[in-house]
Amino acid sequence: MRTTKTIRMAALLGALAVLGTEGIAAQEVARVEVTPATLSLEVGEKAQLSAEAFDADGNAIDVPFLYFSRGGRGRLAVDRATGEIEAFKGGEYEVMARVLGPTRISGTMMVTVAFPAIDRVEISEGGGRFYTGVTIRHKATVIDRADDVRDVAVTWSSSDESVATVDRFGVFSALAPGDVTLSATAEGVVGHIAYEVADNPVTSMAVEASQARGRTGDVIHFTATASDAGGGAVGDIPVTFGLIADPDKVATADIPPAEVDAMGRFVAYKPGVYTVTASVPGTTSHATVEILPRHVTEEVTLVGHAPVRNVSTSDLWVWEGVDGRDYAITGTHSGHGSTYWWDVTDPASPVLTDSLLVDARTTNDVKVSEDGEICVISREGASNRRNGIVIVDCTDPRNIEIISTYDDELTGGVHNLFIYQDHVYAVNNGTRFDVISIAEPATPHRVGRFELDTPGHAIHDIWIVDGIAYTSNWSDGVVVIDVGGGDKGGSPENPVEIARFADIGGATHAAFPYQSPTGKFYIFMGDEIGAPGFDGQEADRTPQFMSGYIHVVDFTDPENPEEVARYEIPEAGSHNMWIDDDRLYAAFYQGGLRVLDISGELKGNLYHQGREIAVYKSYDPDGVVANAPFTWGPQIHKGNLFFAEYFSGMWAVKLQPRRTLIP
């Protein structure tokens, strides 16, 4: 068998020979030497490397090289063509000289850049007044003169060990009254922090629970009060909370039955009796609470199914039409550019009223204006690659008509959008959202846009409530933006950032705000994390799998948002969500549709707290993939819970109290 490889090489070599073209023929290279083989530099110094190629007999061959250093990015500059290097930060770097020719042979050398002297040592805690008996850990950050954070040994010391000691981990223990300075030394450079140690005045402790009895998932606040001999409160002594757990049932290797944090916030996962201790050196107190089961589960009844079995279904929107009847619109994914309208006035019998085929493969997002007259469809995969949005008159969902399209600078594809007060906020695949006025829907035009300035920023979704936009930005997390409803002077023409929060997962895909009756303002941030499709999944036969969870962030103080809880389903990943009346309706792909009780304050992993009201997995034997729940997005409407299923269309279910007695 003779293959193209042979043919191509013969043709190439022949062409080079006949035409005399100067080629890059390095097939004879047997060895590459880079000189110098090792090199020592100071930060800021430059040097010239030189590579030479040799054949098997040791003869030099004139070939071009490509120089680079994988480990040196941002630390050692390498001119790829000339081999000149410049040191920016200390370390050891391998520089590779790759022959630009038909060989995989390369040469390497090592550059050692001397670490510059340490510039400063920064200590994590702030110093100040401290009481005898108290311990606290400090951390030191060592930074050199190249502004490089260094991993070097730090030696801790106390200026007066009769007053306080410090161990090798930076754990500081106050022993006796007096002034003391804690020092962290790295390569001769010292960071200091000063304390004034005073006698521990606490003679008594009291701890009080915000409620004596609760249910799993309830957040109970334990407030500790340390008092001196005179009965005065000592408010500046750190209190350590502990937990003595006695769950009703004990199973081997189960999850911890409850948790309490440094602020005294307690939540239980298992019913039982729990004692929280509050301690300061020499004094401890405790309070005990009883935790009962949450008992929130409800029954789910299937109401109706609007089957879409020829193509995958994406988002949905349900609304009351101008004629007073109820309608739904569903988009499609990786299909033929279709969108479907349904009459769901009787959700038990959805009726397809109209459909629209546009030049696209995916109409991922579908939204309806507040007055129910304008539907907007996002486009991806248009044959002309211009994509953008389609604006539709859906006053009569039995006779929908395209009013206009808008694709100016939306060529990357609009993946998600939101309609708010005559404006479409369109997420252009990639980096930003555009604000498009549809006050005159026949002549849409851009009035504003918003884009982050972080390196590698990317946006996925947008949701707007009361003039505040909540955008989901993968590794940049959620960004809250004033588009007219905030106090930052924002408008559709001039969106202004209010706050942002990035969670540890870096995969923020959807966000939904929730003003809790408790006074807390939460943002639910959903991940989207997938298993790579490289392992032979067959899309037509195999259910697909996603991972990731919902992060619950307390945004009550937008200047100091705090992630307080998570909702994580084992073996399933989060997608779109909806919140109404203390309930989270969440699509969890292969984990189906989940309904979660989010009443009260939230803390911990909500999945384990008995907060799940219902789980529904829709199985359609005639679906695009048979019997494969892959729940895309929910919406509650007039007491019915509608949701889109990727493989089988739109479904409606109803929740109702359990008819079985709960003890």
Partner 1 sequence: MIGRPKAALARCAVLATLTAAALPGSAASQSYWVYVAAESEDEVALLRYDAGGDLVVEKTITTGWLAAEIEAPHGLAVDPAGEFWYLTLGHGFPNGRLVKYATVADTVVGVADLGLFPATIAVPPHGTVALAVNANFHGDHVPSTVTIVDLETMFPIADVVTCTMPHGSRFSADGSKHYSACMMDNQLVEIDGATLDVSRRLDLVTNEPAHAPMDGHMAMAPSAAENCSPTWTTPHPDGKSVFVPCNKGDLILEIDLDDWRITRRIEAPGAPYNLDLTPDGSKLVATLKGGARVGVWDVATGELLHLVDSLMRVTHGVVATPDGRYAIVTVEGIGGDPGTVEVIDLESGARVASAHMGKQAGGIALWKMES
- Hey, which residues between 571 and 590 contact partner 1 (CB under 8 A)? 575, 589
Interface with partner 1 in residues 160-219 (CB under 8 A): none
Minimal distance, residue 238 CB to partner 1, in Å: 41
> What would the two tokens of residue 137 be?
């850990």
Among 56, 252, 262, 534, binds partner 1 (CB under 8 A): 534
Residue 528 in the binding site for partner 1 (CB under 8 A): yes
Distance CA 46, CA 656 (A): 74
Q: CB burial class (10 A; 0-12, 13-18, 19+) of residue 404?
A: middle
Minimum CB distance to partner 1 smaller for 334 or for 627: 334
Residue 334 in the binding site for partner 1 (CB under 8 A): yes
Minimum CB distance to partner 1 smaller for 22 or for 581: 22
Residue 530 in the binding site for partner 1 (CB under 8 A): yes
Residue 14 in the binding site for partner 1 (CB under 8 A): yes
3-state secondary structure of 162: coil
Site string for partner 1, 128-167 (x = CB under 8 A): ----------------------------------------
Alpha-carbon distances of 161 from 157, 175, 252, 593, rounded to whole Å: 9, 8, 45, 60
The reply to whether omega before 36 is within 30° of 0 (cis) is yes
Sheet hosting strand 326-333, strand order edge to edge: 312-320, 326-333, 338-343, 351-357
Minimum CB distance to partner 1 smaller for 268 or for 624: 624
Q: Please, which residues have CB within 8 angstroms of residue 93's CB and are 6 or more apart in sequence?
A: 69, 71, 72, 75, 76, 110, 111, 113
Residue 660 in the binding site for partner 1 (CB under 8 A): no
3-state secondary structure of 136: strand
Interface with partner 1 in residues 94-123 (CB under 8 A): 96, 98-104, 106
Whether 597 and 296 have beta carbons less than 8 Å apart is answered as yes
Piece of the chain touching partner 1 by CB under 8 A; list 64-72, 291-299, 389-397, 636-644: 64-72
Minimum CB distance to partner 1 smaller for 532 or for 570: 532
Minimal distance, residue 31 CB to partner 1, in Å: 16
Interface with partner 1 in residues 588-607 (CB under 8 A): 589
Among 337, 350, 610, 623, binds partner 1 (CB under 8 A): 337
Minimum CB distance to partner 1 smaller for 384 or for 660: 384
3-state secondary structure of 258: strand
The pairing of beta strand 468-472 with beta strand 461-465: antiparallel
How many residues form the binding site for partner 1 (CB under 8 A)?
84
Residue 489 in the binding site for partner 1 (CB under 8 A): no
Interface with partner 1 in residues 350-379 (CB under 8 A): 357-362
Residue 70 in the binding site for partner 1 (CB under 8 A): yes
Q: What does 601-636 look like in DSSP terms, one character per residue?
A: ---EEGGGGT-EEEEE----TTSSSTT---EEEEEE
Interface with partner 1 in residues 22-61 (CB under 8 A): 22-24, 26
Q: Please, which residues have CB within 8 angstroms of residue 484's CB and are 6 or more apart in sequence?
A: 421, 467, 490, 491, 492
Interface with partner 1 in residues 416-455 (CB under 8 A): 428-431
Residue 504 in the binding site for partner 1 (CB under 8 A): no
Residue 457 in the binding site for partner 1 (CB under 8 A): yes
Minimum CB distance to partner 1 smaller for 2 or for 168: 2
Residue 546 in the binding site for partner 1 (CB under 8 A): yes
Distance CA 315, CA 462 (A): 14
